[in-house]
Amino acid sequence: MPSTFNAVARFAIVAIVAIVAPGDALAQSNEVNVYTYRESKLIQPLFEAFSKDTGIKVNVISASSGLEQRISTEGANSPADVLLTVDIGRLEDAVKAGISQPIVLPALDKVVPAQYRDPEGHWYAISMRARVIYASKDRVTQTAITYDELADPKWKGKICIRSGQHIYNNALFAAYIAKHGEAKAEQWLRGLKANLAQKPSGGDRETARDVAAGKCDLGIGNTYYWALMMDKETDRKPWAEATKVILPTFADGGTHVNVSGVVLAKHAPNKANAMKLIEWLAGEKAQHMHADLNYEYPVRSGIATNPTIAGYGTLKPDTLALSKIADSKKAAAALVDKVGFDN
């Protein structure tokens, strides 16, 4: 098969050149390398605006798990400058894994409230979301609800939720444990489980869809999904229109919020550019983009939330320290196992 062999050889040479081309593997002067758990489509507009403002090119890897391990294994040669992630647990995990270094930006401390940054500067939140209720407009008359009430038997067979092990729920359950202790949390989680209309599965959008379709009356989801469906996705608008968003509260009156945040990699080869990016992400322009493109709550004080999000009512974030939520993360996962929440 000489002709096949030649073709194969030619292809191999071209491919090897293309694959080992070191451009992306090496740190370049005017670039910054971002490892992100946030979907690249979601943050690409922000990076494009950053590049336009500063002339710094942003290189991206997005994944769903394992980026901390990747950075940590890559070690001193890691090209990672910034890790962008959602969930307080993951931010704290990254710090514990020893892959971070303090972000020293005094200007940032003035605009980001202490609640939303690490005391030692190892992470800064850049946006927030709340875990709320999508309630059927037709079948639910209540306009306020507490998280505790979700375990009330009056909702038997009427609640939909995604997997109890998903980080959004994991953080909510962890917050409940941190506030009320494990024993009470277990009782609450058993009550919630008993009220589910179906096995936990799908995502937050499916939850809204199930409420709209009459499968259940209450769904638990994040604030931005509902707004996206209402404003941006014509085919899903009916799901949002069939539901109303209620900001639930803990017994002490706060609503559970989680954050997306940044970590500066320990061996960041482009540290200066990374600092510029972090500062820019907490800046006014980026905070407005977070609010209006991605429907998140800005962390920077003085930035207005998007009108659709503001329509849910005034958010009163739970004041529990985020690190306390991260500390209860494992206990929450164990509790979900124990009560067979996902089974």
Partner 1 sequence: MNLSQTHSYGPALGGAVSLFPAVKLLAVLIAVAIAALVAFPLVSLARLAAIGDADLWPHLSAYVLPVALLQTTLLLLGVAAITSVAGVSTAWLVSTYQFPGRNILVWMLPMPLAIPTYIAAYVYVDILDAAGPLQTALRALFGWRTGAEYWFPPIRSLGGAVFVIGFVLYPYVYFAARAMFQMQSAGLTDAARTLGARPWQLVRDISLPLARPALAVGVALALLETLNDIGASEYLGVQTLTLSVFTTWLNRGSLGGAAQISLAMLALAAGLIALERYGRRRQGHQSDGQDSRMASRVVLSGGWGRLATLTCLVPVTFGFLVPAGFLLREAILRGLVAGFDHDLLRHTATTFVLAVCASLVVVLLGIAAALPLRLVPRPFVLACLAVATMGYAVPGTVLALGLLSPLVAVDEAINWLSMRAGGAQVGLVLAGSSVALIVAYTVRFLSISIGFVQAGLTRVSTDFDDVARLLGAGPLTLVRSVHLPLLRPALWGAALLVFVDCLKELPMTLLLRPLNVETLSTYIYQFATRGSFEEGALAALLIVAVGILPIVWLVRQAETVPATSEVPTVFQ
State the minimum distance, in angstroms, from the CB of residue 247 to partner 1.
21
State the minimum distance, in angstroms, from the CB of residue 112 to partner 1.
26
CA atoms within 13 A on the CB side of 265: 32
State the minimum distance, in angstroms, from the CB of residue 114 to partner 1.
26
The reply to whether 293 sits near partner 1 by the rule CB under 8 A is no
Indicate the residue type of 19.
I
Coil, helix or strand for 201? coil
Which residue stretch of 32-40, 114-122, 246-254, 304-312 sits at the interface with partner 1 (rule: CB under 8 A)? 32-40
Q: Nearer Cβ to partner 1, position 266 or 329?
A: 329
Cα(129)–Cα(134) distance, rounded to whole angstroms?
14
Site for partner 1 in 145-184 (CB under 8 A): 157, 163, 165, 167, 170
Site for partner 1 in 35-94 (CB under 8 A): 39-42, 59-67, 69-70, 73-75, 77-79, 93
State the minimum distance, in angstroms, from the CB of residue 179 to partner 1.
20
Q: How many amino acids of this chain bind partner 1 (CB under 8 A)? A: 74
The reply to whether 6 sits near partner 1 by the rule CB under 8 A is no
Q: Nearer Cβ to partner 1, position 226 or 280?
A: 226
State the minimum distance, in angstroms, from the CB of residue 132 to partner 1.
16
The reply to whether 215 sits near partner 1 by the rule CB under 8 A is yes
Non-local CB neighbours of 228 within 8 Å, separated by 6+ positions = 295
Cα(53)–Cα(72) distance, rounded to whole angstroms?
31
Q: Nearer Cβ to partner 1, position 310 or 331?
A: 331
Cα distances (Å, whole numbers) of residue 281 to 53, 116, 272: 12, 14, 14
Cα distances (Å, whole numbers) of residue 24 to 33, 36, 270: 9, 16, 13
Of 201, 272, 284, 319, the one binding partner 1 (CB under 8 A) is 201
Binding mask 92-131 toward partner 1 (x if CB under 8 A, else -) reads -x--------------------------------------
First-to-final CA distance of the chain = 56
The reply to whether 254 sits near partner 1 by the rule CB under 8 A is no
Cα distances (Å, whole numbers) of residue 258 to 52, 68, 265, 326: 29, 19, 22, 10
Non-local CB neighbours of 234 within 8 Å, separated by 6+ positions = none
Non-local CB neighbours of 227 within 8 Å, separated by 6+ positions = 240, 295, 306, 308, 309
Which residue stretch of 11-19, 105-113, 123-131, 270-278 sits at the interface with partner 1 (rule: CB under 8 A)? 11-19
Q: Nearer Cβ to partner 1, position 110 or 154?
A: 154
Cα(119)–Cα(113) distance, rounded to whole angstroms?
11
